[in-house]
Amino acid sequence: MDAEAAKRPVTDQEIYEKIWDAIAERQIGPGTRLKEEQLSDIFSVSRARVRQVLQNLARDGLITLVPNRGAFVAKPSIEEARDVFFARRTIEERLVERLCSTIGAEGIERLRSHVDDERRAHSGGEVATAIRLSGAFHLLIAELAQSQILAGLLRDLISRTSLIMAMYQQKEVLSCGPDEHAAIVDSITARDAKKALAVMHHHLAHIENQLDLESERVVARDLEDILGL
């Protein structure tokens, strides 16, 4: 055991991300109950702070808060999953459209280098970082499109998407390869708004169509092993 662990106080953000990671990486299965005391023991913080983090997770749709019952990892239905993708298409198509007319040279450079990073992680077999970078690509687009609000909304939707993929994505299919992202960047670079919109639409539809409606794997493991510091 590490004696240092108790010294540096853990921030709420860190707790949030730790749980987020565990859910997105399929370590905690959908439907799993998250007891407040259990979490407060694991992270060595008071229940009050755990409670606050749980509220934030609930707001972002990763867990469900049932009054007097507690917190459960969300179990998005296939309808909710499709709704998430509908919302994402709505927002992201508009964002790339706008980007085509507003993006500058350094913006294009950031997109390109990001796709490069994705390529590296993908070919290196680092699944976890590949998934994370894939989400970050979409967030980068929102950031560059200079809409703080849509960027914030999209952040939530991407979190939800991670959970959905954890639930419904077929095992063998990895996250969207970086090629489609590259195609999006190309369209933006060419300032072809119509094409960029179409490519983004196709990209999101592609991911949605990979969903497997049958599977319902529930991996229930010991929380302490997964989240332990």
Partner DNA sequence: TCATTTCAGATTGTCAACAATCTTTGTCGA
Partner DNA sequence: TCGACAAAGATTGTTGACAATCTGAAATGA
Q: Quick one: which of 15, 28, 42, 45 contacts DNA (CB under 7 A)?
A: 45
- Return the axis-axis angle of helices 105-123 and 178-189, rounded to nearest 10°: 170
Q: Decide whether 165 or 227 has the Cβ nearer to a copy of itself.
A: 165
Residue 77 interface partner, choices a copy of itself, DNA, none, CB cut-off 5-8 Å depending on type: none
Q: Quick one: which of 48, 105, 149, 213 contacts DNA (CB under 7 A)?
A: 48
CB of 146 to a copy of itself, least distance (A): 8
Q: How far apart are CA 37 and CA 34, in angstroms?
A: 9
CB of 71 to DNA, least distance (A): 6
- Tell me how many helices (H) and strands (E) the chain has: 10, 3
Q: How far apart are CA 157 and CA 174, in angstroms?
A: 19
Residue 37 interface partner, choices a copy of itself, DNA, none, CB cut-off 5-8 Å depending on type: DNA
Q: 4: Cβ–Cβ under 8 A, 6 or more apart, which residues?
A: none
Residue 226 interface partner, choices a copy of itself, DNA, none, CB cut-off 5-8 Å depending on type: none
| Segment interacting with DNA (CB under 7 A) among 28-36, 86-94, 134-142, 206-214 | 28-36
CB of 221 to a copy of itself, least distance (A): 30
Neighbours of 33 (CB within 10 A): 15
Q: Quick one: which of 6, 35, 124, 202 contacts DNA (CB under 7 A)?
A: 35
CB of 167 to a copy of itself, least distance (A): 16
CB of 148 to DNA, least distance (A): 22
Q: Show contacts with DNA in window 60-79 (CB under 7 A).
A: 65, 67-71
The secondary structure of the chain in percent helix, strand, coil, rounded to multiples of 5, reads: 70, 5, 25
Residue 157 interface partner, choices a copy of itself, DNA, none, CB cut-off 5-8 Å depending on type: a copy of itself
Check: CB of residue 145 under 8 Å from CB of residue 151.
yes
**Vertex 220 angle, CA 215 and 221, to 5°:** 140
SS3 call for 169: strand
- Return the axis-axis angle of helices 78-102 and 178-189, rounded to nearest 10°: 30
CB of 104 to a copy of itself, least distance (A): 18
Write phi, then psi, for 126 (nearest 5 degrees): -85, 85
Binding footprint of a copy of itself on the chain (CB under 8 A): 48, 52, 55, 59, 80, 83-84, 86-87, 90-91, 94, 147-150, 153, 157
CA distances from 17 to 23, 56, 154, 168, 227 (A): 10, 11, 17, 22, 11
Which residues contribute to the site for DNA (CB under 7 A)?
9, 33-37, 45-49, 51, 65, 67-71
